[in-house]
A and B are shown apart, each in its own frame.
Chain A
């Protein structure tokens, strides 16, 4: 019985249980609905939950555990010589066994018999059915494959039977509880509350998942490359990960990537902060409601444009423009029409990222500035200060902590930005100070190392996770500190 059919049957049982529970509460109340503690619908739901929830949980556990158990059994049934060849070989053999098993599923009994007695070549027979084997199959694989298939079939049969039994039993147990004074609603609500808690724990699980997955993969990386070489290495040259070449042949120095990341983020902030801050001040303190209601959403459009579009903009418009204009300038001054700004450069990526960050700075600062109490504004204006004096000497100092928080949040975004730098910053991992030359970033290298074929055993792939955890820690630090400041700031004026 397939899983989806099983689910359908459980749903059906649940529905019947619902109707039955409702009907029973009706009969119990003898027509006087007001005498019921809970509405009939709650009684129905209560029975339905008992009929479905335990069964579904069991099903989920079974679906996770059974394959692991079957794998384990089949693996330990592989012949001794194979078992002794190390984990990788066993894994490979197991994979082949599974392919064979899947192939057998598509053959009829006669064909399988022919393969078993050796009269048909297994690889060809399976290939004809669209199952490609990595190598010639070994005879033991046929046996293992059949064991595998048998176990799977048995497990599936057993699972269907037990799950359905639990479902029906749950429903029957629940329906006996239904009575006039039975507090069905409270029980149903407890289950609902439980599911709400489960949903909110997903947020925690995501963080745990991020940290755990990256730590474990990065941990594997650090067994191949010492952390010191990674964190303090000044050369990034991972070499190409040839299949099976293994070994840490390349150099994985984080510093050039970190330098590029921070440099580009710095240029972007240099560009975005004055513009965003002044825009926010003008919006909050000067703009007429009409200007505000048009200019503010228009600026925020910039925040809604996907970063890939900015990357493309940098690649085909800003980069070539800077390159050409630098060639023209150079020509005018020296007569040599040689561009001194590369199309892919720190400044290209920085400017375009800066454009992207303008709305972040402006709307975050706008929020902060408008939170400064009106009394402070009035106090200053009442003393005869001009608006700009009020802004510069009273509002900005009062809003400073909040603005710093907003800028840190923006910086965190700049550090983690990917698509713009992938397309506009270049891939050369260099440590230099000229903003007109390309540099590369942590995020670019994560993308570089993880596109194409992956091998989860080579340092060339795993280094991406070490880079990822570095990036995560940096942005986490920035975010938490920024959120803390902003929160403190809010509380001050509440």
Chain B
């Protein structure tokens, strides 16, 4: 009991024995466990991100290098146009035996005996079969090369490419691998004199579809994706902004607008493949638009992107403080003028950020495009969005289904390209947000 006798101030005391036991140790152990769960959850998530990216990059970075063989090709008239008919029958130049030119150049380069057929075949197998069209295009473009000898850089065949990049285990028994010992020897021999070398692979960006990995590229797919992104942007941004302005600023608050609201939120969560079915039934089957066309793909992706843009735009419009509206209205501006002169410009950074994120999603979307027939083997660049084309993610899907090892490399390479585009788009969105972020 505290006493009051002394006039000096005293501090209350409490015997340590009376301290209650509230299980501090046990409770802090639980606390630590709980925290550990949290940290490991985040680490697991980040670990998978790292594994995913590492898996793609480690498999794919080599796709940006390509082994080439530069040979002096003699465009001999004897082979290309033995009967000298090209002036009258231009088809001659298309059907000529171009692989023979390669074979002769290779035989000469390696000093082989042309009569040993199997050996010569093995040697010519080192060069991609795409050499035929490559040489043909040279000759067709400029028939005057006939009769001359020009050094031409040819693609190495995919297995040689892999072997030269060190991806094939050469210690395995020869019969169990796709590269023969002679080919390895020649490869090293050619590499020593600088005829065979690795260089930056521009082909992956410019080639179209091909069944040969070394001649396959995402060029057509990139163009198809570009067409689609442009159309999606042109359609979805104005429509999305217009719809949001109406819903946010004009629409009366009633059950109908409530329904639209729920509907838009739901559309944002509808599986993308359902949009593919919609596109197939409405645009292709009902309206008779061409299958595989970038235009139809773009329509489908537009419908898919709209909810995202509308939700982002409405949030951005909502974030503009009412005082701005009152100020403009108070000066006698009409509601339309207020919105278009004051509110919309202030909301623009948020709208653009949402749009970029929506476009990034659309760029990576695959499933709906499969349904409207963009899984097409397209070799030629589409001249317009109405021509058959394919898209980057669809190209990845098609390559992922190929069995050959070299296609795994190409697929990963294509994924890297896709991811780089996405990174740039998202960085753009982040920068935009940082640059124009306003705090009211």
- Residues of chain B from 412 to 436 with CB closer than 8 A to chain A in the complex: 412, 415, 418-419, 422, 426
Query: Are A299 and B367 neighbours in the complex by a CB distance under 8 Å?
Result: no
Confirm or deny: A437 has a beta carbon within 8 angstroms of a beta carbon on chain B: no
Q: Once the chains are docked, how many angstroms separate the CA of A317 from the CA of B59?
A: 10
Query: B383 to nearest A CB, angstroms?
Result: 16
Query: Are A423 and B35 neighbours in the complex by a CB distance under 8 Å?
Result: no
Confirm or deny: A409 has a beta carbon within 8 angstroms of a beta carbon on chain B: yes
Q: Once the chains are docked, how many angstroms separate the CA of A210 from the CA of B286?
A: 13
Closest to B235 in A: A202
Confirm or deny: A203 has a beta carbon within 8 angstroms of a beta carbon on chain B: yes
- Residues of chain A from 264 to 304 with CB closer than 8 A to chain B in the complex: 274-279, 281-283, 286, 295, 298-299, 301-302, 304
Query: Are A358 and B263 neighbours in the complex by a CB distance under 8 Å?
Result: no
Query: Are A302 and B42 neighbours in the complex by a CB distance under 8 Å?
Result: no
Closest to A298 in B: B46
Query: Are B41 and A471 neighbours in the complex by a CB distance under 8 Å?
Result: no
Query: B318 to nearest A CB, angstroms?
Result: 13
Confirm or deny: B277 has a beta carbon within 8 angstroms of a beta carbon on chain A: yes
List of A residues within 8 angstroms of B209 by Cβ: none
Question: Which of A11-19, A155-163, A305-313 lies on the face that meets chain B?
Answer: A305-313
Query: Are B31 and A286 neighbours in the complex by a CB distance under 8 Å?
Result: no
List of B residues within 8 angstroms of A309 by Cβ: 52, 56, 364, 396, 415, 418-419
Question: Which of B84-92, B99-107, B237-245 lies on the face that meets chain A?
Answer: B237-245
Closest to B415 in A: A309
Given contacts A207-B263, A307-B366, whether A193 and B336 have CB atoms under 8 Å apart is yes
Query: Are A483 and B278 neighbours in the complex by a CB distance under 8 Å?
Result: no
Q: Once the chains are docked, how many angstroms separate the CA of A413 from the CA of B239?
A: 26
Query: Are B271 and A417 neighbours in the complex by a CB distance under 8 Å?
Result: yes
Confirm or deny: B62 has a beta carbon within 8 angstroms of a beta carbon on chain A: no
Query: Are A302 and B49 neighbours in the complex by a CB distance under 8 Å?
Result: yes
Question: Which of B155-163, B215-223, B246-254 lies on the face that meets chain A?
Answer: B246-254
Q: Name the one of A278, A304, A447 contacting B41, with C-beta atoms under 8 angstroms.
A: A278
Confirm or deny: A440 has a beta carbon within 8 angstroms of a beta carbon on chain B: no
Question: Which of A236-244, A370-378, A385-393 lies on the face that meets chain B?
Answer: A385-393
Question: Majority SS of interface residues in chain A?
Answer: helix
Query: Are B260 and A200 neighbours in the complex by a CB distance under 8 Å?
Result: yes
Q: Once the chains are docked, how many angstroms separate the CA of A312 from the CA of B399?
A: 10
Confirm or deny: A403 has a beta carbon within 8 angstroms of a beta carbon on chain B: no
Confirm or deny: B44 has a beta carbon within 8 angstroms of a beta carbon on chain A: yes
Query: Are B400 and A196 neighbours in the complex by a CB distance under 8 Å?
Result: no
Query: Are B334 and A316 neighbours in the complex by a CB distance under 8 Å?
Result: no
Confirm or deny: A446 has a beta carbon within 8 angstroms of a beta carbon on chain B: yes
Contact with A along B369-390 (1 / 0, CB 8 A): 0110101000000000000000
Query: Are A391 and B273 neighbours in the complex by a CB distance under 8 Å?
Result: no
Question: Which of A74-82, A125-133, A472-480 lies on the face that meets chain B?
Answer: A472-480
Confirm or deny: A468 has a beta carbon within 8 angstroms of a beta carbon on chain B: yes
List of B residues within 8 angstroms of A276 by Cβ: 41, 45
Confirm or deny: B34 has a beta carbon within 8 angstroms of a beta carbon on chain A: yes
Given contacts A209-B278, A308-B397, A472-B270, whether A199 and B246 have CB atoms under 8 Å apart is yes
Confirm or deny: A400 has a beta carbon within 8 angstroms of a beta carbon on chain B: no
Given contacts A203-B260, A279-B42, A483-B265, whether A195 and B242 have CB atoms under 8 Å apart is yes
Query: A264 to nearest B CB, angstroms?
Result: 14
List of B residues within 8 angstroms of A409 by Cβ: 269
Q: Name the one of B35, B265, B277 contacting A446, with C-beta atoms under 8 angstroms.
A: B277
Confirm or deny: B5 has a beta carbon within 8 angstroms of a beta carbon on chain A: no
Query: Are B282 and A311 neighbours in the complex by a CB distance under 8 Å?
Result: no
Query: Are A475 and B38 neighbours in the complex by a CB distance under 8 Å?
Result: no
Confirm or deny: B55 has a beta carbon within 8 angstroms of a beta carbon on chain A: yes
Question: Which of B64-72, B125-133, B169-177, B303-311 lies on the face that meets chain A?
Answer: B303-311
Q: Name the one of A203, A209, A315, A480 contacting B264, with C-beta atoms under 8 angstroms.
A: A203
Given contacts A278-B38, A409-B269, A464-B277, whether A418 and B336 have CB atoms under 8 Å apart is no
Given contacts A200-B242, A200-B246, A472-B270, whether A210 and B260 have CB atoms under 8 Å apart is no
- Residues of chain B from 1 to 58 with CB closer than 8 A to chain A in the complex: 22, 27-28, 30-31, 34-35, 37-42, 44-46, 48-49, 51-52, 55-56
Query: Are A306 and B45 neighbours in the complex by a CB distance under 8 Å?
Result: no
Query: B397 to nearest A CB, angstroms?
Result: 6
Q: Once the chains are docked, how many angstroms separate the CA of A341 from the CA of B237?
A: 47
Query: Are B239 and A202 neighbours in the complex by a CB distance under 8 Å?
Result: yes
By CB atoms of chain A within 10 A, which of B27, B35, B281, B365 has the most? B281
Query: Are B35 and A447 neighbours in the complex by a CB distance under 8 Å?
Result: no
Confirm or deny: B293 has a beta carbon within 8 angstroms of a beta carbon on chain A: no
Query: Are A418 and B277 neighbours in the complex by a CB distance under 8 Å?
Result: no
List of A residues within 8 angstroms of B28 by Cβ: 386
Query: Are A306 and B269 neighbours in the complex by a CB distance under 8 Å?
Result: no
Q: Name the one of A197, A210, A283, A418 contacting B246, with C-beta atoms under 8 angstroms.
A: A197
Given contacts A203-B307, A302-B49, A308-B366, whether A471 and B37 have CB atoms under 8 Å apart is no
Question: Majority SS of interface residues in chain B?
Answer: helix
Confirm or deny: A153 has a beta carbon within 8 angstroms of a beta carbon on chain B: no
Query: Are A465 and B277 neighbours in the complex by a CB distance under 8 Å?
Result: yes
Q: Once the chains are docked, how many angstroms separate the CA of A312 from the CA of B44?
A: 20
Query: Are B41 and A279 neighbours in the complex by a CB distance under 8 Å?
Result: yes
Query: Are B419 and A202 neighbours in the complex by a CB distance under 8 Å?
Result: no
Confirm or deny: B208 has a beta carbon within 8 angstroms of a beta carbon on chain A: no
Query: Are A304 and B360 neighbours in the complex by a CB distance under 8 Å?
Result: yes
By CB atoms of chain B within 10 A, which of A387, A415, A464 has the most? A464
Given contacts A203-B307, A307-B366, A419-B397, whether A274 and B274 have CB atoms under 8 Å apart is no
> What is the number of residues of chain A that contact chain B, defined by CB distance less than 8 Å?
87
Query: Are B242 and A479 neighbours in the complex by a CB distance under 8 Å?
Result: no
Query: A85 to nearest B CB, angstroms?
Result: 23
Query: Are A387 and B31 neighbours in the complex by a CB distance under 8 Å?
Result: yes
List of A residues within 8 angstroms of B355 by Cβ: none
Query: Are A362 and B418 neighbours in the complex by a CB distance under 8 Å?
Result: no
Confirm or deny: B266 has a beta carbon within 8 angstroms of a beta carbon on chain A: yes
Closest to A206 in B: B303
Q: Once the chains are docked, how many angstroms separate the CA of A451 from the CA of B281?
A: 14
Confirm or deny: A359 has a beta carbon within 8 angstroms of a beta carbon on chain B: yes
Closest to B425 in A: A304
Q: Once the chains are docked, how many angstroms separate the CA of A196 from the CA of B360?
A: 25
Q: Name the one of A197, A471, A476, A480 contacting B273, with C-beta atoms under 8 angstroms.
A: A471
Closest to A362 in B: B45
Query: Are B334 and A317 neighbours in the complex by a CB distance under 8 Å?
Result: no
Closest to B40 in A: A278
Query: Are A358 and B371 neighbours in the complex by a CB distance under 8 Å?
Result: no
Query: Are B334 and A286 neighbours in the complex by a CB distance under 8 Å?
Result: no
Q: Once the chains are docked, how many angstroms separate the CA of A471 from the CA of B270?
A: 9
Query: Are B364 and A443 neighbours in the complex by a CB distance under 8 Å?
Result: no
Closest to A203 in B: B264
Closest to A282 in B: B38
- Residues of chain A from 112 to 156 with CB closer than 8 A to chain B in the complex: none
Confirm or deny: B408 has a beta carbon within 8 angstroms of a beta carbon on chain A: yes
Confirm or deny: A355 has a beta carbon within 8 angstroms of a beta carbon on chain B: yes
Query: Are A415 and B367 neighbours in the complex by a CB distance under 8 Å?
Result: no
Q: Once the chains are docked, how many angstroms separate the CA of A207 from the CA of B269?
A: 12
Query: Are A217 and B281 neighbours in the complex by a CB distance under 8 Å?
Result: yes
Closest to A354 in B: B48
Query: B332 to nearest A CB, angstroms?
Result: 12
Q: Once the chains are docked, how many angstroms separate the CA of A299 from the CA of B306?
A: 25
Confirm or deny: A73 has a beta carbon within 8 angstroms of a beta carbon on chain B: no
Query: Are A358 and B397 neighbours in the complex by a CB distance under 8 Å?
Result: no
Q: Once the chains are docked, how many angstroms separate the CA of A279 from the CA of B38?
A: 5
Query: A416 to nearest B CB, angstroms?
Result: 2
List of A residues within 8 angstroms of B400 by Cβ: 308, 311-312, 315-316, 423
Query: B20 to nearest A CB, angstroms?
Result: 11
Closest to A450 in B: B371
Contact with B along A346-364 (1 / 0, CB 8 A): 0000000001001100100
Closest to A67 in B: B288
Query: A480 to nearest B CB, angstroms?
Result: 6
Closest to A474 in B: B271
Instruction: Sample 17 A-B pairs with CB under 8 A, ordered by A number.
Output: A186-B334, A189-B335, A196-B245, A203-B243, A203-B267, A210-B275, A210-B277, A213-B278, A214-B277, A278-B41, A279-B41, A286-B38, A299-B42, A304-B426, A312-B396, A316-B411, A446-B277
5 closest A-B pairs (Cβ-Cβ)? A416-B271, A306-B364, A282-B38, A278-B41, A199-B242
